[in-house]
């Protein structure tokens, strides 16, 4: 029987070519766009965020060209609860969130899979540059890097469960970005040369602090910039305006560069220091997801990324509780930031990951 697949179509070139490749592979396909967020400021010409009305029209255009059904699923409430609320809460509690990871986790690979199953689909399909393979020895599904390591997106997929991996296909995993654009051009897709989205869809101007203040109704309270000895160096605008490792925009004159090293919400202080003060030899990770196993039985040597664009770093990971892993780096790492994801790798295989909780140096 012909397998049925729902293609998560964002309006971009990657998901459009994913739909084409699945049709070529013999699947019964339909396209679907999740309607996540409606705000006028997210619809301006030239925006490089996703989820705009023009993105929906681009996806609809490609689906029509391919001759497949096309759905738009309203998921505003799910997006608000799982992504925007968490984004605001993480900042207000001193962290720096990654909303794209939460969108993948709670919307694309949870809510969308459920919608697809209601329609009788066997799989959802995404235009991510990653691969899914099944381990012949254990039967578990494994998440692998995409062949094009310059576009690999496995970092933002570490939270996928075994059930989600079993019902997801990544047809772009063995292609390069250049090859995908060439296919789109050959097929005459309207978005063949469309730039990749870069901005967070609900904060297209990048002013996170203003968005959080407007969204929550909470005005930032100024406080003290201090050094690690507690000496007051100046006044900050409110802790949500700053992220760990930030150097620019502090408004403080000093004989050497100062960086945001930590925050004390209790005292409403932002702690500044030099480059060396940003270094961490270890960190704690919570809200963990492991892919090849359910639990770590002992220390594991691997490589770890604590930011999307960061090169992987040698480290040891050890599970110290039901939902806690300690990461010990072979060499101290710069600006390990609470709220960001730590993702574990063994070569091209994603072992899992979690949310950075606090320094544990």
Point out the residues that are catalytic: 103, 201
Contact 296, 285 (CB under 8 A): no
Does the annotation list 11 as a binding residue?
A: yes
DSSP 173: G
Q: Is 58 annotated as a binding residue?
A: no
Say if residue 10 carries a ligand binding annotation: yes
**∠72-75-81 over CA atoms, to 5°?**
165
- Side-chain-facing half-sphere of 19: CA atoms under 13 Å: 30
Kindly give, in sequence order, each residue whose CB lies less than 8 Å from that of residue 242, ignoring residues fewer than 6 positions away. 236, 250, 260, 263, 270
9 is in an annotated binding site: yes
Q: Is 16 annotated as a binding residue?
A: no
- Is 126 assigned to a binding site? no
The encoded tokens of residue 283 equal: 């960190």
Does residue 54 contact residue 15 with C-beta atoms inside 8 Å? no
Residue with tokens 């970005």: 177
- Residue 15 marked as a ligand binder: yes
The two tokens of residue 79 are: 């997006």
Residue keyed to tokens 């990871």: 101
**DSSP type of residue 292:** S
14 is in an annotated binding site: yes
Is 8 a known ligand-binding residue?
Answer: yes
Binding-site members are 8-15, 34, 127
Binding-site members for ATP are 8-15, 34, 127
């Amino acid at each position: 029987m012909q397998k049925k697949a729902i293609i998560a179509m964002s309006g971009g070139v990657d998901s459009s070519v994913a739909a084409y490749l699945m049709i070529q592979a013999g699947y019964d396909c339909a396209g679907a766009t999740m309607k996540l967020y409606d705000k006028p400021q997210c619809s301006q010409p030239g925006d490089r965020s996703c989820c705009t009305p023009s993105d929906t029209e681009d996806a609809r255009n490609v689906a029509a060209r391919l001759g497949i059904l096309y759905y738009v699923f309203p998921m505003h409430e799910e997006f608000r609860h799982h992504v925007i609320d968490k984004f605001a809460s993480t900042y207000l509690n001193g962290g720096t969130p990654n909303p794209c990871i939460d969108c993948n986790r709670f919307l694309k690979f949870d809510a969308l899979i459920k919608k697809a199953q209601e329609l009788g689909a066997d799989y959802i399909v995404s235009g991510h540059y990653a691969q899914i393979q099944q381990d012949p020895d254990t039967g578990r599904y494994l998440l692998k890097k995409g062949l094009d390591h310059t576009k690999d997106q496995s970092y933002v997929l570490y939270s996928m469960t075994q059930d989600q991996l079993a019902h997801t296909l990544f047809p772009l995993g063995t292609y390069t970005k250049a090859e995908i654009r060439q296919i789109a051009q050959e097929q005459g897709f309207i978005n063949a040369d469309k730039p990749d989205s870069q901005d967070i869809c609900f904060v297209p101007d990048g002013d996170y602090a203003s968005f959080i203040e407007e969204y929550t109704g909470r005005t930032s309270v100024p406080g003290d910039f201090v050094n690690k000895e507690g000496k007051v160096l100046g006044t900050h605008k409110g802790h949500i305006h700053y992220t760990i490792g930030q150097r620019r925009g502090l408004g403080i004159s000093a004989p050497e560069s100062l960086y945001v090293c930590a925050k004390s919400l209790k005292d409403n202080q932002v702690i500044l220091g030099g480059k060396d003060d940003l270094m961490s030899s270890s960190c704690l990770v919570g809200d963990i997801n492991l892919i090849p196993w359910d639990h770590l039985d002992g220390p594991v040597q691997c490589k770890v990324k604590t930011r999307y664009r960061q090169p992987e770093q040698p480290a040891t990971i050890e599970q110290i509780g039901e939902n806690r892993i300690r990461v010990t780096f072979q060499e101290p790492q710069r600006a390990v930031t609470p709220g960001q994801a730590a993702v574990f790798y063994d070569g091209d295989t994603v072992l899992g990951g979690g949310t950075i909780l606090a320094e544990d140096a």
